[in-house]
């Protein structure tokens, strides 16, 4: 078998580049900041630096939404999503700090004091160029931030949150112009204005290319349609899709697409589902558990329904493998990418093991396929289900080490609910598996 080499993660170089950009922003502020003589100057200059950093991070927020393949496939969609959420929180905080400090400083200058911030804000919106647009953009950012808070996010539908989240583009556009028209750094340094245009222009170009033009090209070229819908177990269906030259889509086992089914009631819903079988030249398949309105509606799709796909995304692929032996761990419907990897990962008999966790044996979707793959490949297939009285199976470091005495020499791929993934991760670490060889993508925001 061809030697497998561990892949170097680009996360560290990317983070260094981000910090270098932030340092450049601070340097720009510092070189244009005169001596600070009083509290009013300190407040205004604090407002300037928070505004510059907020503008820089806002460009990064949009970049992280652009679905650039270098980020999605090499870093991982889940990590990019976490970066996006974290950057978004920092951006909102910096925007609010910039607004408060700047209006406070202007209020002190006009003799109004701290109590005059509201009136000063109203006057600035009316008198300063593009500040009114920025106020609308700030309101949109705050709205998006509030709806992204965990308890709030879980109370609204995915589709509503997703479409409101797209307002980030509008908020960024509306906030951009006042940075150039009122920012002292850009007024006195044309080079800074050019660099700012280059930053936002590059991010805009990436969004247009990867979020708009690339999906249009993919769907015009491959013309996906629903071939059939098959019920695997109660509440779990597989959707088979055909199209043209699907082998040229670049999809790999372990990856996912965002799917939009052009059927009544589903045209405006785009959801991520993993491939549940290795991509074929004329067939793609997803397997979905009915846990919401969109996933429940899949069972009623008619053959011939047009499909709009975006992707492929995700880094949970064979490229992450660094050892000859591999353990695949699936929880519930997390079996879908694991089933595709179980079929395609190269290995000699005994090299590949799959552990499938479900509540009952009736919930073991695709079990017959998995058993056939295991028999044909000489792979090992295990399941862990609740006992008849509902007791959960023991998945601990001791249990895993007993089942696989050489588990510390395995790569591990896993997919499942967050609580399950955390439990398995801790058990694997306790069994001696290094963190760098535990590969997992989670799409909980």
In DSSP terms, 273 is beta-bridged to 257
Reading the block at residue 392, the tokens are: 């959960």
For tokens 């799409």, what's the residue? 443
pLDDT of residue 443: 55
| CB burial readout 159-171, b (16+ within 10 A) else e | bebbeebebbbeb
pLDDT of residue 3: 40
Running DSSP on this structure, what letter comes out for residue 74?
I
Which CATH superfamily does the domain covering 223-313 fall into? Translation factors (2.40.30.10)
**Own/partner pairs for 138-144, CB < 8 Å, 24+ apart?**
138/95, 138/96, 138/99, 138/171, 138/175, 140/167, 140/168, 140/170, 140/171, 140/174, 141/91, 141/92, 141/95, 141/168, 141/171, 141/175, 142/92, 142/96, 143/167, 144/88, 144/168, 144/171
Regions of the chain with pLDDT less than 70: 1-11, 442-445
Matching residue, tokens 């509306």: 174
* CATH fold match for the domains 223-313 and 318-440: no
Tokens of 39: 């509290």
Domain range list for the chain: 11-218, 223-313, 318-440
Q: CA 55, CA 134: separation in Å to the nearest integer?
A: 11
What is the pLDDT at residue 244? 94
CATH fold of 318-440 reads Rossmann fold (3.40.50)
Backbone angles phi, psi at 142, to 5 degrees: -65, -40
Q: What is the pLDDT of residue 172?
A: 96
Query: Going by C-beta distance under 8 Å and a sequence separation of 6 or more, which residues neighbour residue 104?
Result: 43, 47, 114, 117
Cα distance between residue 381 and residue 387, in whole Å: 19
Instruction: Quote the pLDDT of residue 445.
Output: 43
- pLDDT at position 444 is 54
Q: How many helices (H) and strands (E) does the chain have?
A: 17, 11
How many Cα neighbours within 13 Å face the side chain of 367? 15
pLDDT of residue 265: 87
d(CA 50, CA 44): 10
For residue 267, give both structure tokens.
Answer: 């045209």
Phi/psi of residue 256, nearest 5 degrees? -135, 165
Residues 380, 342: Cα–Cα separation, whole Å: 10
């Amino acid at each position: 078998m061809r030697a497998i080499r561990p892949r170097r993660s680009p996360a560290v170089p990317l983070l260094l580049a981000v910090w270098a950009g932030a340092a450049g922003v601070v340097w720009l502020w510092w070189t244009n900041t005169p001596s600070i003589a009083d509290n009013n100057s300190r407040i205004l200059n604090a407002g300037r630096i928070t505004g510059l950093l907020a503008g820089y991070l806002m460009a990064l927020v949009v970049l992280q939404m652009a679905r650039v393949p270098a980020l999605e496939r090499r870093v991982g969609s889940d990590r990019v999503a976490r970066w996006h959420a974290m950057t978004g929180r920092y951006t909102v905080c910096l925007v609010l700090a910039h607004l408060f400090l700047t209006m406070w400083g202007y209020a002190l200058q006009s003799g109004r004091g701290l109590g005059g911030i509201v009136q000063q804000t109203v006057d600035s919106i009316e008198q300063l160029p593009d500040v009114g647009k920025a106020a609308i953009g700030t309101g949109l950012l705050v709205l998006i931030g509030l709806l992204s808070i965990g308890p709030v996010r879980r109370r609204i539908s995915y589709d509503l949150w997703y479409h409101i989240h797209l307002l980030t583009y509008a908020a960024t556009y509306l906030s951009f112009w006042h940075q150039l028209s009122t920012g002292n750094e850009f007024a006195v340094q044309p080079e800074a204005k050019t660099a700012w245009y280059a930053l936002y222009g590059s991010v805009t170009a990436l969004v247009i290319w990867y979020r708009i033009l690339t999906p249009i090209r993919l769907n015009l070229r491959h013309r996906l349609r629903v071939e059939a819908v098959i019920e695997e177990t109660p509440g779990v269906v597989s959707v088979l899709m055909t199209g043209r030259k699907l082998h040229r889509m670049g999809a790999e086992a372990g990856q996912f697409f965002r799917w939009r089914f052009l059927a009544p009631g589903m045209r405006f819903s785009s959801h991520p589902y993993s491939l549940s079988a290795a991509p074929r030249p004329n067939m793609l398949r997803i397997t979905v558990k009915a846990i919401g309105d969109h996933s429940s509606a899949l069972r009623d799709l008619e053959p011939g329904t047009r499909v709009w796909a975006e992707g492929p995304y995700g880094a949970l692929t064979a490229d992450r493998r660094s050892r000859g032996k591999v353990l695949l761990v699936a929880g519930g419907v997390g079996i879908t990418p694991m089933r595709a990897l179980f079929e395609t990962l190269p290995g000699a008999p005994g090299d590949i093991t799959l552990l499938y966790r479900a509540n009952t044996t009736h919930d073991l979707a695709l079990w017959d396929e998995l058993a056939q793959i295991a028999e044909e490949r000489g792979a090992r297939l295990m399941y862990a289900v609740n006992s008849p009285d509902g007791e959960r199976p023991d998945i601990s470091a001791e249990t895993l080490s007993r089942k696989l005495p050489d588990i510390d020499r395995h790569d591990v791929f896993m997919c499942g609910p967050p609580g399950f993934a955390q439990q398995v991760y801790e058990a694997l670490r306790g069994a001696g598996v290094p963190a760098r060889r535990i590969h997992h993508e989670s799409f909980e925001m």
